[in-house]
Amino acid sequence: MPQLRLSAVSYLNTKPFIYGLYRSNLAGLFDLSLDIPSVCARKLLSEEVDMALTPVAIIPDLNEAYLVSNFCIGATGAVKTVCLFSEQPLESIQRIYLDFHSRTSVALTHLLCDRYWKIKPELVPAERGFEQQIGGSSAGLIIGDRTIGLDQKYPYVYDLGTAWKEWTGLPFVFAAWISTKPLHPELAERFNLALETGIKHIPELVKILPSMEGFDTEAYFKKNISYLLDDAKWKGLNHFLNLIAGEKGYRLMR
């Protein structure tokens, strides 16, 4: 079986998946790179990889998109590591710097500002170091491991997973395992089993990860990140994709 080129998000929330893959007998079948989400998206769009754990916002841009796993990076409420940080409340925010690591969270921020929060700040694509520009009426969308501890720094923290759930009543899918070609059924089954194994062994994984003061990694894996791509998340995913597709609409088929 030829080796598949695979890109996966490099954040903490992906560690159970990576742990499961390396515990399995599939490791030799993948050429795996760990990247920030926007790079995972770019690699899949440019066909540099065959499959990626990628921000779901790129799905409508793919000529062909196959969800190859029953697992995802999702949230049924507060996700904890995708947040808008500010020194002022929503109604006083005049500018939001949008994390360059992100695709899905940027699209979600646009939607929330326009349709849920009903605010019209300037939305600025950010560059490296943008975190230093957060202050006064300028807020920042920050995603991933860099958010850990920032809830102690900023008086106003708006969790995008919570906001989406309050707005739609649905869970949210931030990233999913997407391929540009169908996977062989046997490989897909083995791949899903490896991911499931990693999730089942979270307590074991936590013991070998570096501890972070004031951050409960196991609770984050089990309570904030929801890994199963169940029917509710599928509905939430399709609702999001339809919203960002605009008038032409979009529906992802199983």
Which helix (H) or strand (E) element contains residue 75? Answer: strand 66-75
Q: What is the pLDDT of residues 36-52, one digit of tens each?
A: 999 999 999 999 999 99
- Tell me which of 3.40.190.10, 3.40.50.300, 1.10.150.120, 1.10.10.10 is the CATH number of domain 4-74+171-248: 3.40.190.10
> What is the model's pLDDT at position 246?
76
For 91, counting Cβ atoms within 10 Å of its Cβ (0-12 exposed, 13-18 middle, 19+ buried), the class is exposed
- Is it the case that residue 251 has pLDDT exceeding 70? no
Put the strands of the sheet holding 172-179 in their side by side order. Answer: 30-35, 4-9, 51-55, 172-179, 66-75, 226-228
pTM above 0.85, yes or no: yes
Please tell me if the domain spanning 4-74+171-248 has the same topology as the one spanning 82-168. yes
199: CB partners within 8 A, 6+ apart: 16, 17, 20, 71, 227
CA distance 48 to 253: 24
- Which residues sit opposite 226 in a β-bridge? 74
Query: What is the share, in percent, of the chain residues with pLDDT greater than 70?
Result: 96
Tokens (6 digits) for 18: 């990576």
196: CB partners within 8 A, 6+ apart: 20, 70, 71
Q: What is the pLDDT of residues 215-239, one digit of tens each?
A: 999 999 999 999 999 999 999 999 9
The residues spanned by each domain of the chain are 4-74+171-248, 82-168
Mean pLDDT score, 63-73 = 92
185: CB partners within 8 A, 6+ apart: none
Return the half-sphere exposure (C-beta side, CA atoms, 13 A cut-off) of residue 190.
14
- Residues 112, 172: contact at Cβ < 8 Å? no
CA distance 112 to 118: 8
- Tell me which of 1.10.3720.10, 3.40.190.10, 3.40.50.1100, 3.40.50.980 is the CATH number of domain 82-168: 3.40.190.10
Q: What is the pLDDT of residues 109-159, one digit of tens each?
A: 999 999 999 999 999 999 999 999 999 999 999 999 999 999 999 999 999
